Structure 1
Amino acid sequence: MELKNEWIQEDDVYENPLLKITLNGLKYYGILLYKTQPLKKLNCFRGVVFTASMLAFNVTQYIDLYQVWGNIGDMTANAATTLLFTTTIVRIFHFYGNRTRFNNAIKYADEGVQHVLRFGMPAEKAIFWQNVKYMQRLTAVFWICALVTANTMCIYALIQYLSNTVEEPATILRSWYPAENMEKHFLVLYCIQLYIMYVGQLIVPCWHVFMVSLMVYVRTSLMILNHKLAHMDEYVASGMRSGRKPQVVKDPTEESYATRRELIIECIQQQRKVYGYTIELEDLIKGAVFMDFVVFSVLLCALLFEASVTDSMVQIFIDISYILTMTAILFLYYWHANEMQHQANLLSKSTFMSDWYNYPRVVNRHLITLICYCNRPLTMKAFFLPMSLDTFIAILRASYSYFTILKQAAD
């Protein structure tokens, strides 16, 4: 699956109800462009500036981390945002390097959505819109969680400075800057970090919701396929063939068997396409998800430690919100990978729910072929690491174990 250029060719993709919000966010950031977009070079330049800013700031965070190395409190205060920015920057560069493949994945999902909206049965459209509403609620909750966390950090740092409640003004994020008098240069540093925070607030939720939207599309396709297999009689009675307009059934026996055979072949082809798309999606995200597996345990550990040693209730609220946001990122990937596997496992059962015992032998042969295809497990992996709820729980357990060890060392 490859495109001939690195841009989305149709603006209609941005009106896809399943992908609309997140694609518009990525378009505004400047890393996702469509062919007829006005001022395309300017938008691309904005994306380069945003990415370069985050990269430069992340370098200063690592300089600060090196300077405070050995001080557990300062290291944990630095580590959470440093690691989050690092994983985000890696994802952005990965997108730049694989823009054609990502655009191809978007177009494939959009074509599938348009096919359902144009030719799908009412039940198929109901399944689709049910998933659209689910994705909209998920997006709203995740964005609220991320924005509350980030903006509370921004406001809290400014309040501390204005109220003079701390000896040294607290900036939004821990980072090194060539400034000896922190109080004198506070407003400059604050504005720089405020800019970086808002760039991060734009790209982090947009990126994760974007990838989860593609995973939800796979789940939606499998749910529709399960419905089609379990209610094959309804499709035969309506004369539906290969997603096209209803055909008139002339012979109640031979014509209906031909319709069933064509419908089963269509399901086999659709199942193979969904599995192929899932493999492509897995290949695009496995590196980033594996990095999250390694990094997020340390990140959550750092946030837990910071929350345990601070006396400020506002800082505790920020840390808890941060922990919830980071946990939500992990949960979104592992939960939906688990959902995809669950829906794929139901295909054989859905096939058996049809009235196969009334089919002739030639039709049942196709059913057996379909069941054999459906028995192949659909498990997404981050290299050797299976993406499932068990892995998600293992990450949380590891984070708490690291926290207890760190707490004992600090005490």
Structure 2
Amino acid sequence: MFRVKDLLLAPETFDDPIFRNHLCGFRLYGYVASTDQKRPWFSLVRCIFFTVSLWMCCALMLARVFRGYENLNDGATSWATAVQYFAMSIATLNAIVQRDRVIGLLRVAHADIQNLISEADDREMELLAATQVYTRNITLTLCGPSFIAGSMAYLDCIYRTVFLPKSVFNSSAVQRGDEQPILMFQLFPLKELCDNFVVGYIGAWYALSLGMTAIPMWHTFITCLMKYVNLRLQILNKRVEEMDITRLNPRLVIDRLAPTELSHWRKQLLRVFVEEQIRIRNLVYEIQHLIRVPVMVDFIIFSISMCFLFYALALGISSKMDYFFIGIYIFVMAAILWMYHWHATLIVEYNDKLSFAYFSCGWYNFDVPLQRTLLFVMMHAQRPMNMRALLVELNLRTFIDIMRGAYSYFNLLRSSHQY
């Protein structure tokens, strides 16, 4: 059992250039706390409340889905919402169980970024700035559709509550087909389970807010962690190619060093590079153990869900709004899977480039013993740095296979329907 004091972050961590936005959200939901908070235990209470409420919303939506619908089109949107919340519920529970790992990764990342800022040259600062822009853009890419869909549901709910209240607070008329349900009740059919204002109306508002924030926030946070690892590999590749021993001691004058002294400092620099690669490998190991269960769940659920959503589109949807929401769900599910597999592929590629960076460092100018040492270092650098989610290897080829499989099953369902 973890203790609250072991899960606190320094106040300056919340200003980290890569994780700043995500840490604000995590702090709101209680996943992290600051050492300057007066009541840090209250963050743990918020975290438990948030997780329990998310599971309750998920259970209510799954209960409605399992009650069945007259046809697939009527339940496509509700089904997609329910599976998204189920996958997110698994991820949040996993984050609580491994909360100390999350805190440890954040502490290491923040300390490393601060150290990089203090000693980086112009090119390395450009890489850091490019990573910051990239993580912000990838976060907006996933958050944008979620906020657009949620805002449309909120605006529709407000408008019809004020001007068409009979279509909002008359679930029996909606079930008979005399009134059309509002968008929020189509996405979160809580009112059909319990005709109560608190559960059916306020509960739907709260459930929608959870989905709009928690789902993109968690997945983009993991993406930022993977991109941060990629940044460290980029910088390591750059420093290996330069083989600049003045990084160890800025007062060194290379032209005045004897051959034995130059070889000594180069060997020390190689040791620093090997230690850095080991630290990066440990980071990848920690991230892999953090995400292996939720990503495996996403792999199973999202591939099946996208297949059925394509099938629902093929059958024809009665409302253009349903087309819009199903399109958003397909985009979000595909984007989540792509982010994991693509950034895992980038980690593998930049790790593979490391041995070529050693080859480009001017090894032919080294003495023979140092060349032998460099050969062993290159062999160590060739060790793969693949990421796995239990039975699934995370790479771009796996993502393409997922999309191909979902499309193949969709064609199979459409063919069977035609016959």
The alpha carbon displacement at 1:339 in A equals 0.3
- Write the distance in 1 (CA, Å) between the matches of 2:42 and 2:410: 45
| Residue of structure 1 in register with 2:233 after alignment | 222
- Write the distance in 2 (CA, Å) between the matches of 1:358 and 1:32: 50
Q: Are 2:220 and 1:206 equivalent residues in the alignment?
A: no
- Give 3-state SS (helix, strand or coil) of 2:33's partner: coil
TM-score by length of 1: 0.89
Asked whether the 8 Å contact 2:87–2:297 carries over to 1, the reply is yes
Match of 1:257 among 263, 269, 276: 263
- Write the distance in 2 (CA, Å) between the matches of 1:96 and 1:167: 42
Match of 1:396 among 368, 385, 403: 403
- Write the distance in 1 (CA, Å) between the matches of 2:127 and 2:281: 19
Match runs of 1:249-288 below 5 Å: 249=254, 250-251=256-257, 253-288=259-294
The alpha carbon displacement at 1:12 in A equals 1.7
Asked whether the 8 Å contact 1:87–1:292 carries over to 2, the reply is yes
Asked whether the 8 Å contact 1:169–1:186 carries over to 2, the reply is no
Moved more, 18-27 or 30-39: 30-39
The alpha carbon displacement at 1:254 in A equals 3.6
- Write the distance in 2 (CA, Å) between the matches of 1:11 and 1:246: 35
| Residue of structure 2 in register with 1:85 after alignment | 85
- Write the distance in 2 (CA, Å) between the matches of 1:9 and 1:140: 25
Match of 1:175 among 181, 189, 208: 189
Deviation track 1:176-202 (CA, whole Å, cap 9, x = no partner) reads 54668x6xx679623321211112212
Q: Are 2:245 and 1:231 equivalent residues in the alignment?
A: no
- Write the distance in 2 (CA, Å) between the matches of 1:41 and 1:365: 55
Cα 1:16/1:316, change in 2 over 3 Å: same
| Residue of structure 1 in register with 2:170 after alignment | none
- Write the distance in 2 (CA, Å) between the matches of 1:349 and 1:19: 31
- Write the distance in 2 (CA, Å) between the matches of 1:5 and 1:44: 11
Which amino acid is 2:294 matched to? A
Match runs of 1:2-401 below 5 Å: 6-68=6-68, 71-156=71-156, 167-170=179-182, 171-177=185-191, 189-232=200-243, 235-236=244-245, 239-241=246-248, 245=250, 247-249=252-254, 250-251=256-257, 253-308=259-314, 309-401=316-408
- Write the distance in 2 (CA, Å) between the matches of 1:384 and 1:36: 42
Cα 1:248/1:172, change in 2 over 3 Å: farther
- Give 3-state SS (helix, strand or coil) of 1:227's partner: helix
The alpha carbon displacement at 1:406 in A equals 3.6
Sequence identity (%): 23
- Write the distance in 2 (CA, Å) between the matches of 1:68 and 1:96: 32
Which amino acid is 2:270 matched to? I
Asked whether the 8 Å contact 2:303–2:402 carries over to 1, the reply is yes
Cα 1:407/1:333, change in 2 over 3 Å: same
Cα 1:152/1:408, change in 2 over 3 Å: farther
- Give 3-state SS (helix, strand or coil) of 1:381's partner: strand
Which amino acid is 2:189 matched to? S
Deviation track 1:31-85 (CA, whole Å, cap 9, x = no partner) reads 2223332332333323322222221111111211221168433443332111111
Asked whether the 8 Å contact 1:3–1:100 carries over to 2, the reply is no
Cα 1:150/1:406, change in 2 over 3 Å: farther
- Write the distance in 1 (CA, Å) between the matches of 2:64 and 2:193: 13
Which amino acid is 1:267 matched to? F
Gaps of 5+ in 2: 168-176
Moved more, 37-46 or 78-87: 37-46
The alpha carbon displacement at 1:286 in A equals 0.9
How many residue pairs get aligned? The number is 401
- Give 3-state SS (helix, strand or coil) of 1:386's partner: strand
- Write the distance in 1 (CA, Å) between the matches of 2:344 and 2:136: 18
- Write the distance in 1 (CA, Å) between the matches of 2:408 and 2:74: 20
Asked whether the 8 Å contact 2:188–2:207 carries over to 1, the reply is no
- Write the distance in 2 (CA, Å) between the matches of 1:110 and 1:201: 27
- Write the distance in 2 (CA, Å) between the matches of 1:361 and 1:189: 76
Moved more, 166-175 or 266-275: 166-175
- Write the distance in 1 (CA, Å) between the matches of 2:3 and 2:260: 42
Cα 1:85/1:263, change in 2 over 3 Å: same
Moved more, 25-34 or 44-53: 44-53
The alpha carbon displacement at 1:352 in A equals 0.6
- Write the distance in 2 (CA, Å) between the matches of 1:261 and 1:41: 48
Gaps of 5+ in 1: none
Cα 1:268/1:157, change in 2 over 3 Å: same
Calculate the aligned-residue CA RMSD, in Å: 2.6
Asked whether the 8 Å contact 2:230–2:350 carries over to 1, the reply is yes
Cα 1:187/1:92, change in 2 over 3 Å: closer
Moved more, 207-216 or 61-70: 61-70
Cα 1:166/1:152, change in 2 over 3 Å: farther
- Write the distance in 2 (CA, Å) between the matches of 1:404 and 1:153: 32
Which amino acid is 1:398 matched to? G
